[in-house]
Amino acid sequence: MDGQCIINPFTRALRLTLNGTGADMLRRLLEGGQVHATRADCPVPIAGHTFDLGPTRIFHPHITIDDAAQALAAIDTGDFAGLELTLRPVQEQHYRLVLDDALQTMPPHQPVQPAPFALDGYHEPA
């Protein structure tokens, strides 16, 4: 990854179980936008080997949420603990990865363009 953002060819959806807190943040997420999540480890399988990228930010600038209307209704009632959400990048794209350390050198609030893998015979995902 060498300090760059890449497209994760293995992740096209994130599934979350809500704990019943953060209603305002969830409402903004459900009304459209972007998602960011940090993993302490990020195992990536390549050619029969698993490489751990370490602390990694998983994100996409434009997502959709399955059953968003149902989730908004649950938030309105205050009864959303245990609710499961599936978040997907728009237009069947994939999530993007960037190492947490690399975020320190990237300008804040700027679009992060993914770098190609540039491997012979590899079809770059969107």
pLDDT of residue 1: 56
- How far is the CA of 116 from the CAs of 76, 96, 120, in angstroms? 42, 11, 11
Q: Work out the widest C-alpha separation in the chain, in whole angstroms.
A: 53
pLDDT along the chain (126 residues), means of 10: 73 88 86 78 81 85 88 90 91 86 74 76 77
Instruction: Work out the burial of residue 116: count CB atoms within 10 Å of its CB; fewer than 13 is exposed, 13-18 middle, 19 or more buried.
Output: exposed
Report the distance separating Cα 35 and Cα 70, nearest Å: 19
- How far is the CA of 118 from the CAs of 1, 52, 54, 57, in angstroms? 11, 20, 22, 21
Name the pTM for this structure: 0.76
